[in-house]
Amino acid sequence: MIQLTVNGKERQVDVVPDMPLLWVLRDELGITGPKYGCGIAQCGACTVTIDGLPVRSCQARIGLLEGAQVQTIEGMTTKPFRAVQQAWIEHQVPQCGYCQTGQIMQAAALLATTPNPTDDDINAAMAGNLCRCGTYARIRTAIHAAATQLSPTHSTES
């Protein structure tokens, strides 16, 4: 039995220790915001935070997460997250949307550490998040918009 906190709630799961957090969230706990895209850290669709840091949940083994604090998109409340999510909606970033929960989690993590990202910063931070629909232009615009909302002096020039 492994105990962890997911979106502020204590949860217990009885699975083998090498099961990835992604599948624990999706199939054992019914939390489906994190998506399965590749299973090998190549797409970012499964991104969650563990103890505040963005992580590919398909790579995080549940056995190492005893007592961890996990946040999925369903439980995120940080200021950068809210700004990013709002910008995503306003700029209508999603097409199919399947990658977007992961994109938003990753972008929120970027703004938490880099409040004034350049296009190069955005490219570096977001390169692990694949979007097969090709929404990258809007992702860039939305991240700049969120950054501006958080710090009005943010420049969108890179």
Q: Which of 8, 38, 52, 63 binds other proteins (CB under 8 A)?
A: 38
| Rounded Cα gap, residues 135 and 140, in angstroms | 9
Say which entry of ligand FES, other proteins, none residue 85 contacts (CB below 5 to 8 A, set by partner kind): other proteins
Residue number with CB closer to other proteins (94 or 153) = 94
The window from 49-57, 108-116, 117-125, 146-154 that contacts other proteins (CB under 8 A) reads 117-125
Report the nearest approach of other proteins to the CB of residue 132 (Å): 5
Binding ligand FES (rule: CB under 6 A), the pick from 4, 25, 29, 43 is 43
100: Cβ contacts below 8 Å, ≥ 6 apart: 88, 93, 94, 131, 135
From ligand FES, other proteins, none, which one binds at residue 20 (CB under 5 to 8 Å depending on kind)?
other proteins
CA distances from 69 to 35, 62, 80, 134 (A): 19, 12, 18, 32
Residue 144 in the binding site for other proteins (CB under 8 A):
no
Strand order in the sheet with 47-50: 9-13, 2-6, 69-71, 47-50, 53-56
Residue among 44 and 54 whose Cβ is closer to ligand FES: 44
- 10, 76 in Cβ contact below 8 A? no
Instruction: Cite the DSSP H helix spans in the chain.
Output: 21-23, 79-90, 100-113, 119-126, 136-150
The residue (of 29 and 99) whose beta carbon lies closer to ligand FES is 99
Quick one: what does residue 143 bind among other proteins, ligand FES, none, with the CB cut-off 5 to 8 Å set by partner type?
none
Residues that bind ligand FES (CB under 6 A): 36-39, 41-46, 56, 58, 94-100, 131-133, 135
